[in-house]
Every structure is written in structure tokens, then in C-alpha cells.
Structure 1
Amino acid sequence: MNAAGEEGDEGPVLSVRGLSVRFLLSGGRQVPAVTDVGFEVAAGECLALIGESGCGKSVLASALLGLLPGNAQAAGEAWVRGLDLVAADEGTLARRVRGRLVGLVPQSPAAHLTPVRTVRSQLAETIRALADGGVVTVEGAAERAAFPLDHLDRYPHELSGGLAQRAATALALVGDAPLLLADEPTTGLDRDLVDHTVDELRRHVDAGAGRALLMITHDLAAARRIADRVAVMYAGRIVELTDAASFFGEPGPRHPYSRGLLDALPDRAFRPIPGMPPELSALPDGCAFAPRCSRATSSCATLPPATDGTACHHPHLLEDLRA
């Protein structure tokens, strides 16, 4: 099998195949956090991965960067520029992947920043390590993420959550990595800064050949603003993968869970999805969404195949969506 995304070819920037993550607990128990996930992100593309908290989105991000805890076990493949991130050892991940092949905007920026060093110091060090001789200044890197220049000499504990998020975004953009992985990049930001942040992430993709963005988010407005495609995750699986324009516009999503996410928005029906997501340690054999789904039948006791990007026995048909 040929490695996907080799430098110079026309393949995807990121190709994920059969990725699964299990947490190994005491007594031999296993908790499946991500199950048989597959997708690609093409050059010049932004893929938004959405879903409720606890569905496995951030675990997937950690698996791509080799940042899973010690009791986690990953299987499958995730190729970037001819390198399988899942199979790579820690040395390879540290030298070649983090910051160089994959830039990370983390979900918890306060934990990502070094507490005893100023933002200026951390940006300067990152520029020396990753800028590869390019003309990059600390001030330019800060401005790119709308980080105020008069806060550069502050320490992380002196920053608000929103400022810490912008500092982490500035650090992630320094290396101009081919794949930018943004894990909840708009946490703690007001609407104007959300728009600025996601627009900058989008510009990063559009500014150079061979770049792509995987944005993990619960902010559907941010996803709608910049995404080309949308992947919807539920209970560790991708249940729908579709074009963003049709997902947010017409004809709309086909999976009942995806429609429920949109219907819960204040500018839509403002109707929450009934029930709660299942415990990952007690997933049913069939469709995990069936207990919350008004379309469920006895056939949902078996795992639905993914047909035309939708893993559902009873997806909404085009005539349903346009009614």
C-alpha cells in the first residue's frame, strides 16, 4: 500500500483510515473512544469536525499528534506527507510532526503555554525553531492572531482565557505547517474575535499551496463561516460527512443527529435533542443514536453502514428535507 499524501503528489494533506482509540482500564475493561474513523482533508480545504462534548473529537486530535495518555491504545492509519502519524514513535513526532507537519491550536491553551515564560519569549523560541529562516517577527506573529502587542511581556497566568487562546493560535501559525489542527480554537472568545480567529485560520490554508485545516468545534457558526466540508461525530464514530454548503443550507443534513444539532441552534428551531449521549463504556451493538432518535426502528439494533457519507438506516431523503 502506498503512503498517502507524499510530498509533491496530488493526494490529500491528511488521510485517516480505520482510526480507533481504546482506553484500557483496570480489570481488562476497554472503553472505545474513537471507532473506525476514516476521512481525508485535501489541500486548500477546511474540514470541520463537529459533535456534542464527549463524542471523541478531542481524543481523535490527540491520536493524530501522539498525545494520548498512557492507558490509550490507537490503531489504524493517519498519513501526512508520507508519514503515518499513528505508527510514528515519540522522537519522530517531536522532531518532524508537532509544529512542522501539524500545527496545533489546543483546546486548553493555559495548559499548553509554559507558565514561567512570557508570551514574547515563547513566540521567539518557536520562531527560531520553526520559521526556517523566514522573515518572521514576534510582533508579526502576535498580530496574525490578534494578540495585543502590549501583552507580549506578560506570563500566561496574567492572561484571560481569550488572550491565552490567541497566544496559542499565534504559536500554532508560526511554522506554516501543511496541516493545521485546531481543537476548539474559539473557546473563550467573543463573537468578533471568533470571526477574526477562524478567518485567520482560513487565510493560513489559502495563503500557501498544500495546506489544510482540520477544525474540531462545537461552534456551528464558526464552522459555517469557513468550512468546505463537515464531519459529524457521535459516540466515537463519523455518522455524516458532507459538503458544508448543503449541510448548513439546502438540502440540509441527512442524519437525524446532524439535523438535531442544527435544530438546537437559537436561530433555528431552538429545540434540544432529547436524551443524553450514551456512555462510551456501554455502547449498544447497533446505532448508538437510536435511543434518542424519532426515526428508529428494529433495524437500528444493527450497526448502520455508511452510504453516501451517512451512517444511518433511515436517513432523511431529499424529498423529506425539501418538504
Structure 2
Amino acid sequence: MRALDAVTAERAEDAVLSVRGLTVRFRLRGGRTVDAVSDADFDLAAGECLALVGESGCGKSVLASALLGLLPGNAETSGTALLAGPDGRHGTGGETTDGGGAVDLLAADEKTLARTVRGRRVGLVPQSPAAHLTPVRTVRSHLEETVRALTGTARRARRGAAEEAAGRTAFPADHLDRHPHELSGGLAQRAATALALIGDARLLLADEPTTGLDRDLVDRTVDELRRHADDGRALLLITHDLAAAERIADRVAVMYAGRIVEIAPAHRFFGPVGPRHPYARGLLDALPDRAFAPIPGMPPELTDLPGGCAFAPRCPRATDLCATRPEPTAGVACHHPEHPRA
């Protein structure tokens, strides 16, 4: 693991989640391997929203699945992902019997993750909500059972708590008694978000939480997620929607070909200064309200990554130096970072 500078070390000390060297490798038939996530480093503090952005297939959802132990059997993980205890401590003594101590999410066993982490300490808004909803149960039943399991609310109060949770994500009350197959994609997404907010987990992973929503509902949904962070919790927002990220994020992490290539404060990233990695700059310039200029070429296949900088074949600033892999410097992994805009 690379040595941390003073600012990073201070941030790690106060973090709800501190990730170092997170790597996910998939074993394929024929002895091949795929590095879906490589050496991810970041910290996430209480009250903070970190937006993880990048093109489809870059490894964002794999990273979230690794944090919750939801990867398939052919996956191998390395690194650390330390989830602080409720008291904010990062002690290495391991998980306590009541699930209240610090825990390395990558090293924890399935029993610990299932009983004390998922839903209770880490909430998940899944990318594919239909796969996480039981088809034979109504939305109301899902919500009431989650209220019971996570909060211990008495039976008579569960109905009101479930309806309150649905209201937080603008899920219509007259659809609460419908089954998942009777919902549109957008309604299923709102139901899944309501489920994730129950219990007020200290860390919330929201994986594409605005899929299938119109702009007004996108804004309402991310505003509710922002309130979750403002109440002293941490939010990792995984999204293609840069407008949603700009609306609520404190910092932005850009992923390309399995690697985080830049982390920057949101006000700098979206403001006049702009991002410094050429790929991150290209993401912004591709937006219709900006230059509307697409990034040339296509992302590489993770089974056939080029040597050195993976973005070099698409980068107008690439030189022979880019045949070697750049290490992060001042938050950007690039041999030729963009100069800040005037």
C-alpha cells in the first residue's frame, strides 16, 4: 500500500469507510483473469457524499458489490475496506459480538456481513431493484418486514413507518399493495430506495439510484439521499448522471477501466477550474449543456487492457511516457494532467 500523505491520513482517521488497495479479480475459464477493480483508494466521512462516476463497465458496481460481499464465487478480492464502529473508531480488534465494532468489509465472513452489516450498518440501493424484491410479496410487506428487522418497531406502528419510508422516495401510497411485477422500473427503483433508507444505516451505497426516473423524481430522490448524509451519515453515490452528482456530491471519484483516475472536490470538478484527468474532462465536455463533444473511441475490454495508462489510446495528450502506468499525484493518475481552466 502506498504511503499516505498527511491530509489523506487525517481523512482516513475520521472516515466512516476507509478503502485501501481494493482490487477485484475474476477467474475465467482457461486460466484467464480479469482485473475489474485495481488498487482503489478513497475515504468517506460522516456527512459526506462521494460520487463515483464513469462509463458503463468500468467497475463501479463491482466495487460496491465487493464492499458488501456480494461478488460471485469466481471473484478474488484484496486490499482493505475498514468500516468504522459507531463510535468512529478504526481499531483492528475485529467485529464485536453485537456487530458494533470496526470491521474490514473485505475480510469479514458471510455470517458477519449478513447479520450485522448489510442493511444495518451499510444500506444498499441496488442497480437492479427487481432482482432484490421478492416477487410474491407486496411493496408494503417488504417495507414492514424491513422495519421490523432493522428497527424492532412494534407491529401496530410498522404500517405507519412503512408508509413514511415510501413517502421519503415519493413512492405512491396507492401502489403499496402491489407486487414487484406490477411496478414500472422507476417505481421499483423508488421502492428499493425506500427499503435502503429504513434503519438509517451509517453508510449508504446507492448504485444508479435514479435509473428510470424523470428529472423531477431524480432531483427528489438524490435530495433525499443527500439528507441521509446531512444527518451525519456517509453516502457513496454510483451514477452515470453527472447532473445528479453535481447536485449533491461533496467530492467526485472518476473510474476508468477498473481504476480510480481522479478524485476532486465537486465544486472544483464541476466549476470553472474543472477536472485534471483528460478522461474526466472528456466526460464533462460530452454533456449536452457543455461542449457536447463525445470522447473518441471506446473503453478497452477488461480482458485486454493496454499496458501503462488504459486511457492512452483515446487520449489527445498521450505520449510515449504513457506506456508506463501513472501513479496518483495530488488526486490524479495521469502523466499529463490538464491545466486548470482560467
Q: TM-score, with normalisation over the residues of structure 1? A: 0.94
User: What residue ranges of structure 2 are gaps of 5+ in the alignment?
Assistant: 1-11, 85-101
Which residue identity lines up with residue 202 of structure 1 in the other structure? R
Which residue pairs with 2:338 in the alignment? 316
Q: How does 1:230-249 map to 2 (within 5 A)?
A: 230-249=252-271
Aligned to 2:56, the other structure's residue is in SS state coil
RMSD, aligned CA: 1.4
Q: Which amino acid aligns with 2:39?
A: D
Equivalent in 17, 20, 26 of residue 14 of structure 1: 17
Match of 2:75 among 72, 86, 103: 72
Name the amino acid aligned to 1:177. A
Amino acid aligned to 2:199:
G
Q: How many residues align?
A: 311
Q: Which residue matches 1:5?
A: none
Q: State the partner residue of 1:253.
A: 275
- Equivalent in 131, 138, 162 of residue 151 of structure 2: 131
Choose which of 218, 230, 236 in structure 2 pairs with 1:194: 218
| Change in CA separation of 1:10 and 1:238 when aligned onto 2, cut-off 3 Å | closer
1:24 aligns with 2:33: no
Residues of 2 paired with 1:93 and 1:60: CA distance?
16
Match of 2:141 in 1: 121
Deviation at 1:175, TM superposition (A): 1.3
Query: What is the DSSP-based 3-state SS (H/G/I as helix, E as strand, rest coil) of the residue aligned with 2:14?
Result: coil
Q: Which residues in structure 2 correspond to 1:160-171 (within 5 Å)?
A: 160-171=184-195
Provide the TM-score with structure 2 as the length reference: 0.89
Picking from 39, 48, 52, the partner of 2:51 is 48
The aligned counterpart of 2:310 is 288
User: Shift of the alpha carbon at 1:250?
Assistant: 2.1
Q: Secondary structure at the match of 1:13?
A: strand
SS at match of 2:15: coil
The 1-side partners of 2:27 and 2:258 are apart by 16
Q: How many percent of aligned residue pairs carry the same amino acid?
A: 75
Structure 2 residue identity aligned to 1:168:
A
CA distance in 1 between partners of 2:229 and 2:278 (Å):
31
Shift of residue 317, structure 1, vs aligned partner: 1.7
Q: Runs ≥4 in structure 1, deviation > 3 angstroms?
A: 132-136
Q: Aligned-pair distance for 1:133? A: 4.2
Aligned partner of 1:98 among 110, 113, 118: 118
Amino acid at match of 2:249: A
Q: Which amino acid aligns with 1:138?
A: A
What is the alpha-carbon distance in structure 2 between the residues aligned to residue 237 and residue 175 of structure 1?
32
- For 2:325, the equivalent position in structure 1 comes to 303
Report what 2:201 is aligned to.
177
Give the drift of 1:174.
0.2
